[in-house]
Structure 1
Amino acid sequence: MNFGILVFNEVEELDFVGPWEMLTMWSKFADGPAPCLIVSQSPGPVRCSKGLSINPHVSFADCPPLDHLLVPGGQGTRREVDNPVLVDFVAQQARHCQAVLSVCTGAFVLHAAGLLSGKKATTHWGSLERLRALGDVTVVEERYVQDGKVWSSAGVSAGIDLMLAFIASVGGDEAAGKVQFGAEYYPSSVRYGGFEKHAQAPAYLRGTREG
């Protein structure tokens, strides 16, 4: 079982580093998938949203068929949804993937690849209305959501919750527990600044659920 994480210029760092950390801990502590590949369209460094530069393992041309593919978000998605090479790569890999996942605005790349039509999905709170405006996606305001083989999460840090839930689904609760414990990922319940009352706060943050 192999897992690929797509990256592109202006990808949001934590969108892919958070899931990467969970995935590699899964491999280390609980017999998770190996290898976990960072994939980009072309060889060479990728400059991320906040200035981090990374070196992907493989290009599209060298990437093997993947069992699982994760598409992160970031400002770069606004450009990449109109990149036919990248969108086709996602669509072609998805044909044989057991699961395709998105974090944040990576959902828009999945949509461009034809993977969200008629599905439930979520994205960063700042892009929920933009996702609704596409017209063929049932948008839910949760940290993460699964619809068949398609998983999506809210913004940035939510990708960690998504990945732990995915690990539990595939590898069982004990595997997810080992990863969570190894990562010491037990988020504090403290809320700073009262932003859970912000007009654009998603339902899960406001403590409500959509009917």
Structure 2
Amino acid sequence: MNVGVLLFEDFETLDVFGPVEILGRLKDFYTITFYSLYGGLIKNSHNVSILTEKLERADKRVEIFLIPGGLGTRKEVDNVLLIDKIKQIEYNWIENKDNDSFSVS
């Protein structure tokens, strides 16, 4: 399964790397990709940089989408572009699942 992890400036380290640690141990089952709105380096709350892909690339690939919490979310809740992109990913995921279900029946 493809796991997408959304990162943004000042994301909470444990909220991301707790689940990534668990899923990362199951390499035969999960592939993890980090995304951010524009791609590139994103710094967490401990000033550690992580390389990300552009969020638009997650549209059809991601089967599990992790959005961490933390103080960094306070700025992002008003980021209309980011929220719209998350909604689009959700819509595409639901649409893909509905189409899969429909084609099976």
What TM-score range do you get, normalising by the shorter chain?
0.7 to 0.9
Contact 1:3 1:37 (8 Å CA) reproduced: yes
Q: 1:59 aligns with which of 45, 54, 57?
A: 54
Contact 1:5 1:70 (8 Å CA) reproduced: yes
Contact 1:67 1:96 (8 Å CA) reproduced: no
Q: 1:64 to 1:97 in 2, by over 3 A?
A: closer
* Superposition misfits of 4+ residues, deviation over 6 angstroms: none
Q: Does 1:84 pair with 2:44?
A: no
What does residue 30 of structure 2 align with?
Answer: 33
**How big is the shift at 1:96?**
4.0
TM-score normalised by length of structure 2: 0.78
Which has the bigger relative contact order, CA under 8 A and spacing at least 6? 2
Equivalenced residue count is 93
What SS class does the counterpart of residue 38 from structure 1 fall into?
strand
Tell me how large the CA RMSD over aligned residues is. 1.6
Report the residue type matching 2:73 in the other structure. Answer: T
**How big is the shift at 1:72?**
0.2
Report the residue type matching 1:61 in the other structure. Answer: E
Higher strand share: 2
What does residue 9 of structure 1 align with?
Answer: 9
What SS class does the counterpart of residue 33 from structure 2 fall into?
strand
**How big is the shift at 1:61?**
3.0
Task: State how 1:151-170 maps to structure 2 within 5 Å.
Answer: none
What does residue 69 of structure 1 align with?
Answer: 65
Contact 1:42 1:59 (8 Å CA) reproduced: yes
Q: Distance in 1 between matches of 2:93 and 2:17?
A: 21
**Unaligned stretches of 5+ residues in structure 1:** 99-211
* Identity across the alignment (%): 34
What SS class does the counterpart of residue 61 from structure 1 fall into?
helix
What SS class does the counterpart of residue 73 from structure 1 fall into?
coil
Q: Deviation digits for residues 35-60 of structure 1, max 9, x if unmatched?
A: x110001122111112111111x112
Task: State how 1:101-140 maps to structure 2 within 5 Å.
Answer: none
Contact 1:5 1:69 (8 Å CA) reproduced: yes
Contact 1:10 1:49 (8 Å CA) reproduced: yes
Q: Does 1:94 pair with 2:59?
A: no
